[in-house]
């Protein structure tokens, strides 16, 4: 392969697992790995799917006008500030295409979503971070982030709610980071893939800054992971034009668009999901904290990071519980595991 003209960065790039961990374990496992809504999908969306009539031979609307208008109304933003991708992954891939070039420096918080980091490295950029401290239960220190950020960086990547801990920075804290980055000439990419588990008033979409890009997904809170519907909100018209230039047509299907619009109409489902997740998570934590330490987390987000003295990932695996191994995240090992709460606490606790 080395004789061909391909990206040299890929030969040394190591992409950690996380998705493949749920494959090949046979039957009888409780899946607490991937960060989806444990309560599935809205009944309203299921009914819509049953009665869909779609011309499968036709391409989707290249502008996704139906979904674009629905999101513009939902967030009270200009419809021209909305862009699409196959999940937040598809959106940040396009952002990296117009931001990252060989030698670009990206700043983040470690640990955090690893596939974003690997995409930066694949593009020839470098990644540096503030390391969250175990002794502080991995709580994000906004002041530390601001002090470590310099104008040398092209972009700051912030996942909020944070993956893998599930903790949430308040909107005021996010704004402090964005303001400081703007003074230093740094773009801020806020990945709100888990954002629908928190009230929409706390979204960075509500902020007005030229250096801000916010990503959202229908995969998590709305329970549409198989549809791969993601979107970016970019209020800076010049940045939006750059996204448009690197975008490729038809990132999501017509069915995905229709179901996403239907999901937006069911705010009751989201509200009930948050409430039920909080109840299950409290019960699970009350039991797990007797054996494990739990990182700072928000009760409405379904994921959390925990650790013990041995191989925590294997501890759960031996009890037929699938989690995401700690080594899937930079700076962690398998003494850590990211656990997504199940639909019912007893499903998990009975195996422990």
Q: What is the pLDDT of residue 22?
A: 56
Q: Per-residue pLDDT for the chain (352 aa), expressed as one digit of tens each?
A: 557 888 888 888 887 765 555 555 567 899 999 999 999 999 999 999 999 999 999 999 999 999 999 999 999 999 999 999 999 999 999 999 999 999 999 999 999 999 999 999 999 999 999 999 999 999 999 999 999 999 999 999 999 999 999 999 999 999 999 999 999 999 999 999 999 999 999 999 999 999 999 999 999 999 999 999 999 999 999 999 999 999 999 999 999 999 999 999 999 999 999 999 999 999 999 999 999 999 999 999 999 999 999 999 999 999 999 999 999 998 899 999 999 999 999 999 999 8
How many Å apart are CA 327 and CA 115, to the nearest integer? 13
For the entire predicted model, the pTM comes to 0.95
Widest Cα–Cα separation across the chain: 57
Residue 239's closest CA among 154, 146, 148?
154
Contact 295, 305 (CB under 8 A): yes
Residues 6+ apart with CB under 8 A from 62: 249, 250
Q: Tell me, what's the pLDDT at 8? A: 81
- Return the pLDDT at 351: 94
**Residue 36: its pLDDT value, please?**
94
The residue among 132, 278, 259, 81 whose CA lies nearest residue 199 is 278
CA distances from 210 to 121, 179, 213 (A): 25, 10, 8
Counts of helices then strands in the chain (DSSP H, E): 12, 13
42 phi and psi angles, rounded to 5 deg: -55, 140
Confidence at residue 2, expressed as pLDDT on a 0 to 100 scale = 59
Sole residue written with tokens 């850590």:
336
pLDDT value at residue 84: 98
Q: What residues does each domain of the chain span?
A: 9-41+267-349, 44-264
Class of domain 9-41+267-349: alpha beta
C-alpha to C-alpha distance for 83 and 91, rounded to whole angstroms = 8
- What CATH class has 44-264? alpha beta
- Angle at 202 (CA atoms; ends 43, 343), nearest 5 degrees: 35
Q: At what angle do helices 237-246 and 87-99 cross, to 10 degrees?
A: 100
Helix, strand, coil proportions of the chain in percent (round to 5)? 40, 15, 45
């Amino acid at each position: 392969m080395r004789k061909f003209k391909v990206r040299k960065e890929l030969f040394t790039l190591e992409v950690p697992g996380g998705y493949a961990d749920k494959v090949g374990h046979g039957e009888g496992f409780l899946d607490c790995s991937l960060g989806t809504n444990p309560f599935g999908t809205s009944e309203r969306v299921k009914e819509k799917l049953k009665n869909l009539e779609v011309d499968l031979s036709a391409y989707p609307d290249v502008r996704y006008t139906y979904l674009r208008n629905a999101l513009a109304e939902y967030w009270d933003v200009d419809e021209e500030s909305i862009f699409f991708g196959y999940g937040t992954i598809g959106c940040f891939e396009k952002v990296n295409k117009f931001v990252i070039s060989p030698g670009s420096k990206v700043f983040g918080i470690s640990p955090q979503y690893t596939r974003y980091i690997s995409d930066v490295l694949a593009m020839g950029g470098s990644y540096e971070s503030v390391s969250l401290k175990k002794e502080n239960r991995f709580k994000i220190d906004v002041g530390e982030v601001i002090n470590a950020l310099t104008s040398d960086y092209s972009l700051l990547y912030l996942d909020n709610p944070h993956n893998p801990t599930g903790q949430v920075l308040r909107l005021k804290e996010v704004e402090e980071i964005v303001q400081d980055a703007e003074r230093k000439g740094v773009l801020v990419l806020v990945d709100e893939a888990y954002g629908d588990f928190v009230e929409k008033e706390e979204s960075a979409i509500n902020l007005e800054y030229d250096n801000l890009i916010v990503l959202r997904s229908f995969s998590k809170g709305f329970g549409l992971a198989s549809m791969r519907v993601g979107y970016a909100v970019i209020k800076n018209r010049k940045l939006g034009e750059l996204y448009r230039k690197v975008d490729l047509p038809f990132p999501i299907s017509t069915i995905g668009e229709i179901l996403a619009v239907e999901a937006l109409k069911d705010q009751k489902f989201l509200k009930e999901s948050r409430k039920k997740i909080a109840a299950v998570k409290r019960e699970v934590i009350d039991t797990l904290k007797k054996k494990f330490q739990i990182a700072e987390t928000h009760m409405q987000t379904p994921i959390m990071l925990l650790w013990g003295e041995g191989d925590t990932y294997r501890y759960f695996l031996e009890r037929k519980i699938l989690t995401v191994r700690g080594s899937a995240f930079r700076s962690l090992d398998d003494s850590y595991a990211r656990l997504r709460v199940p639909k019912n606490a007893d499903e998990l606790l009975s195996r422990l």
